Amino acid sequence: MGFLGMLMQVIRVGVILSATMAAAAIAFPIALPECPDICGKVKIPYPYGTTEGCYLNDTAIFGYYFINCTTNTNGQPQPMIGNLNVTSISMEGEIDIQIYNSIDCYEESGRSLPKKTPTLNLPSFTVSATKNKFVAVGCDTYAYLNGYLNDQPFTIGCLSYCQNISNVVNGTCSGIGCCEIQIPEGLKNVDFTAYSFNGNHTKVWDFNPCSFAFIVQEDKFNFSSGYLTSLRNNLTLPMVLDWTIGNETCKVAQNKANYICGANTTCSDLNNGSGYRCKCKDGYEGNPYLEQGCQGIYSIYLQIYKTKIKERNTITIF
Ligand SMILES: *[C@@H]1O[C@H](CO)[C@@H](O)[C@H](O)[C@H]1NC(C)=O
Ligand SMILES: *[C@@H]1O[C@H](CO)[C@@H](O)[C@H](O)[C@H]1NC(C)=O
Ligand SMILES: *[C@@H]1O[C@H](CO)[C@@H](O)[C@H](O)[C@H]1NC(C)=O
Ligand SMILES: *[C@@H]1O[C@H](CO)[C@@H](O)[C@H](O)[C@H]1NC(C)=O
Ligand SMILES: *[C@@H]1O[C@H](CO)[C@@H](O)[C@H](O)[C@H]1NC(C)=O
Ligand SMILES: *[C@@H]1O[C@H](CO)[C@@H](O)[C@H](O)[C@H]1NC(C)=O
Ligand SMILES: *[C@@H]1O[C@H](CO)[C@@H](O)[C@H](O)[C@H]1NC(C)=O
Ligand SMILES: *[C@@H]1O[C@H](CO)[C@@H](O)[C@H](O)[C@H]1NC(C)=O
Ligand SMILES: *[C@@H]1O[C@H](CO)[C@@H](O)[C@H](O)[C@H]1NC(C)=O
Ligand SMILES: *[C@@H]1O[C@H](CO)[C@@H](O)[C@H](O)[C@H]1NC(C)=O
Ligand SMILES: *[C@@H]1O[C@H](CO)[C@@H](O)[C@H](O)[C@H]1NC(C)=O
């Protein structure tokens, strides 16, 4: 039977699937052979990996692709990168993590409690400029965000000063009790800290004993006046990182032996100096970072056809 004939059969047995559904229905490999491809509920596609030999570690490619699959206090697997929890990794070049909140709290007397400066020092990642915002929350508050753009250090900041909670508007972060700024494109190696403007929060202490500063995934943050106190309990917040391979452009990388994009892929640049990404060509689906990771949609149809025939043969008699 020719391929077209098989396709007709597929349609006759009532399998009507779009190309994307077909691709989703077939579990193509996302990790190297013999390598774990999941940690808890989080899928781990190559170049990421949880065990030696399963992640990209070429010292000439400057990057960080090791996921530490730890066990949390409930005995469940918990993927981590450095000291941060990972909640999702996409083959399109994003990784969702939980990042620390910079919390600067005061006692009623104005005495300052210890505070931290969260840092994100992972050179193969940039902070997604489209998905995140830098936010400061408080009524006696300012915050700095330090980072590197094209290897140049720089600082941006946010300020919010108010005296009465009745001025604070729910649902908008417009400067009263909550200040937000856009993240510049290509930002790396960040740290950020929240501070009290007066140095003691005494004027606003009854409704706002702390200043907060964090990077947060925009669509997971909706400000309300309750946050002036409750964010004290949110030790981490969700944010999105962009990931790439190395720090060279496609054009430079393609001429090197360690170029990683597999067969039937295209290469795209992020920002200059921020590395490249791989993508399956149209008509192919899979993990473009594996040598033969991109599979033709036709061959995926063929696999569906074969499994359907197998299923039919086990339940009906010809
Ligand atoms: C990468 O491999 C080198 C040896 O080839 C090793 O020293 C280094 O620790 C590895 N890095 C990671 C992140 O596993
Ligand atoms: C993975 O995380 C655990 C717990 O945080 C730590 O003890 C271990 O050293 C980490 N492993 C690596 C290879 O970094
Ligand atoms: C990571 O997730 C675990 C639950 O799996 C949680 O207990 C822990 O506090 C989280 N740590 C961070 C740094 O977000
Ligand atoms: C805050 O505003 C409310 C309503 O406008 C007012 O009744 C209250 O006295 C104000 N509180 C202070 C401390 O100014
Ligand atoms: C944000 O919260 C306000 C009320 O606090 C609500 O009216 C609004 O719909 C919320 N927006 C989103 C996007 O959830
Ligand atoms: C709080 O700071 C302000 C201005 O910095 C100062 O005038 C005031 O005395 C301080 N209050 C306390 C209780 O430390
Ligand atoms: C803060 O923590 C609470 C309770 O876990 C959660 O419902 C809320 O969504 C968190 N806020 C943000 C902005 O993540
Ligand atoms: C804003 O939301 C908080 C809960 O976060 C609620 O207690 C407060 O009443 C709301 N304020 C207004 C003006 O709706
Ligand atoms: C897909 O990759 C295979 C193996 O490298 C190659 O033979 C084939 O020509 C490629 N197809 C397209 C459309 O590039
Ligand atoms: C990338 O930046 C380097 C210097 O930082 C510059 O020499 C090069 O021309 C830039 N390449 C592109 C494609 O913009
Ligand atoms: C890439 O990173 C390496 C190692 O840090 C550095 O030596 C090199 O100059 C960087 N190249 C570009 C194009 O930024």
Relative to the CA of 224, which ligand 5 atom is closest? 5
H or E segment at 155?
Answer: strand 152-161
Residue in the structure block whose two tokens are 């040598």: 291
The structural domains of the chain, ordered by start, are: 38-93+244-298 (no CATH), 99-236 (2.60.120)
Indicate which residue's Cα is closest to atom 7 of ligand 8.
226
Nearest ligand for residue 171 CA: 5
**Rounded to whole angstroms, how far apart are CA atoms 286 and 288?**
6
Relative to the CA of 52, which ligand 1 atom is closest? 14
Listing DSSP states for 250-303 in one string gives HHHHTTSTT----TTEEEEE-STTS-EEEEEPTTEEE-TTSTT-EEEHHHHHHH
Indicate which residue's Cα is closest to atom 8 of ligand 9.
264
State the distance from the centre of ligand 5 to the C-alpha of 158, rounded, in angstroms: 22
List the pLDDT tens digit at each of the 318 positions of the chain. Answer: 555 555 555 544 444 444 445 545 567 899 999 999 999 999 999 999 999 999 998 877 777 799 999 999 999 999 999 889 999 999 999 999 999 999 999 999 999 999 888 998 887 789 999 999 999 999 999 999 999 988 899 999 999 999 999 999 999 999 999 999 999 998 989 999 999 999 999 999 999 999 999 999 999 999 999 999 999 999 999 999 999 998 889 999 999 999 999 999 999 998 766 789 999 999 899 999 999 999 887 776 777 777 777 776 665 444
Contacts of 90 (CB under 8 A, 6+ apart): none
**Rounded to whole angstroms, how far apart are CA atoms 146 and 188?**
9
Q: Output phi, psi for 75, to 5 deg.
A: 80, 10
- Taking the model in full, what pTM does it have? 0.85
State the distance from the centre of ligand 2 to the C-alpha of 150, rounded, in angstroms: 31
Indicate which residue's Cα is closest to atom 8 of ligand 10.
272
Burial of 179 (0-12, 13-18, 19+ CB in 10 A): buried
State the distance from the centre of ligand 2 to the C-alpha of 190, rounded, in angstroms: 22
